[in-house]
Amino acid sequence: MTVVLVSALCSMLIAAAPGEDAFDVRYTGALTRVTRPGEEPAGRKFGVYFAVGPRGGQERRVGFAIDNQGAGATPWSGRIGEIALTGDDRPAGPGGPTLLYTHNGVPQVVALPLPLPPLAGDLKVGAKWSEGRAAWEVVREQKVLERNCWQFEGSTGQGAPRSAWFDAKDRFLVAYEQQVILGEGVEYTLTLQLATTTPLDEARFAQIATPLRKLLDLEKQFRPASGPATELTEADLNAVSAAMPAIEREAKDTPLAGVTSAIAKEVKLQLRRADELQKLAARFVGSPAPALVFKPLDGPALDRGTLQGKIVVLHFWEYQGEPLVEPYGQVGYLEFLYGKRRKLGVQVLGVAVDGRLRDAQTAPLAARSVRKLKSFMNLEYPIVGDDGTLLEKFGDPRQAGAKLPLWVVIGPDGKIAHYASGYYPVNADEGLRELDAVVIKLIKEQKNRAGE
């Protein structure tokens, strides 16, 4: 899952003459699972950087960058953003920094606090205010990190308790702690702690804002149109990669140097993966398909003779009932395609890839998980099992750093006509348009041959 950002860092940030209230602030953070004796610790450490613009009339804007890397971390396009604040420093719209964390196989988005208190008036003990269903109250003065602070207590819109400490003089966040519930009631603690803060004069503010604005322009221009499941095309990745060296140079002596370098490396890694997948596709398309050997999940084994002369769409995916993570391998769209094309000689086969199928003890668990998903998604196309052996024959894209699903279309002549890894761009009206176009072409070719 990615972060939906408000917009590119506005030109008003650059045009406005930064006043004394322009500053930047950096935090170290952690999302830590609350464990019981004997449980393995879990969580993620991260960093957050804010560039707080000067107040222009009744509005100010805050740019941010998140240092969150590693498996299951925030994609590059979600690590940078900006948000507008009203005169009382409340968010003027949606957006703001978030942390992506994978809990029990399911990506979770955790909102992070902004560096300014959403209260423009005087702070004093007993002051209360609300943000929708969320609430805050100033409860005491307290020294934190050698700073005199006001301590705020409150709850989020989901009722989770939280505490925040704001500098009493300069009114920016010094420390933060919040209860976060993920999955089925698993408790985590989100913490932030001030690392550095620096006033920004006009020149320094412009130096920081320039590369950040360019990163946000890239994010806005190349954000995948189909949502978080779809990666950028190779052409878009090349465009982003070409723009990164200049941005890295501009960010070199700024707090954005680390996140900019990480983004450049991630884009290069994605390009290498795209190249490996292209090589896989070139290796298989046009070649005879390997023999289809499946493991039956329940009932009789699939009669492979019924596939002779048909257009066969193979959908290699985990097909696990737990965790159920959108977009569910796009099986809903695949079911729709199957319903439209099955009478025209098209056979869709879901191939549940699960290592548990190698072992007679664990195979029933794998089969139950598939049945749960099939029932949940109301799938009519047959699903067969694979312990990884068949996928290996077709070239496992995971070995190139990609993820399932893998889509393979075999023509009536037994040759591979289409090979693609990952998720297709979709819209609600057209579904899997790219896959359907391949199938339609094969149907037409088959009809033409029959009419000769």
For 229-266, what is each residue's pLDDT tens digit?
456 778 888 999 999 999 999 999 999 999 899 889 98
CA–CA distances in Å: residue 312 to residues 62, 234, 300, 307, 315: 52, 27, 20, 7, 10
- What DSSP character marks residue 76? G
**β-strand partners of 102:** 107
Same domain, 135 and 253: yes
CATH number at residue 395: 3.40.30.10
Can you give the residue range of the structural domain that contains 137?
Answer: 11-269
Residues 6+ apart with CB under 8 A from 7: 82, 216, 220
- Assign 285 a pLDDT band (cuts: 50, 70, 90): very high
CA–CA distances in Å: residue 434 to residues 180, 230, 406, 423: 40, 13, 14, 11
Domain boundary among 246, 269, 292: 269
Same domain, 319 and 193: no
Same domain, 228 and 313: no
d(CA 367, CA 127): 57
Same domain, 80 and 195: yes
Same domain, 310 and 413: yes
For 308-339, what is each residue's pLDDT tens digit?
889 999 999 999 887 778 788 899 999 999 99
Residue 339 falls within a domain, yes or no?
A: yes
At residue 337, the 3 state secondary structure works out as helix
Token readout for 319 is 């097909």
Residue 2 falls within a domain, yes or no?
A: no
Same domain, 260 and 372: no
8 Å CB contact between 367 and 385: yes
- Whether the per-residue pLDDT at 300 is higher than 70: the answer is no
Residue 55 falls within a domain, yes or no?
A: yes
d(CA 1, CA 404): 16
Q: Summarize the confidence of residues 344-370 as an average pLDDT.
A: 93
Same domain, 251 and 371: no
Number of domain units in the chain:
2
Same domain, 189 and 321: no
Residue 295 falls within a domain, yes or no?
A: no
Same domain, 115 and 51: yes
Residue 290 falls within a domain, yes or no?
A: no
At residue 321, the 3 state secondary structure works out as coil
- Whether the per-residue pLDDT at 187 is higher than 60: the answer is yes
For 107-145, what is each residue's pLDDT tens digit?
888 999 999 887 656 778 888 877 777 788 899 999 999
- What DSSP character marks residue 322? S
- What DSSP character marks residue 425? P
Same domain, 329 and 223: no
Same domain, 148 and 57: yes
14 phi, psi to nearest 5 deg: -80, -40
Q: Which of 68, 1, 400 is nearest to 224 (CA)?
A: 1
Mean pLDDT of the chain: 85
Q: How many residues does the chain have?
A: 452
* pLDDT the model gives residue 370: 93
Same domain, 100 and 165: yes
Q: Is residue 5 classed exposed, middle or buried when 0-12, 13-18 and 19+ CB atoms within 10 A define those classes?
A: buried
8 Å CB contact between 220 and 5: yes
Q: What is the pTM of this model?
A: 0.80
Residue 110 falls within a domain, yes or no?
A: yes
**Amino acid at the residue 292:** L
* pLDDT the model gives residue 377: 93
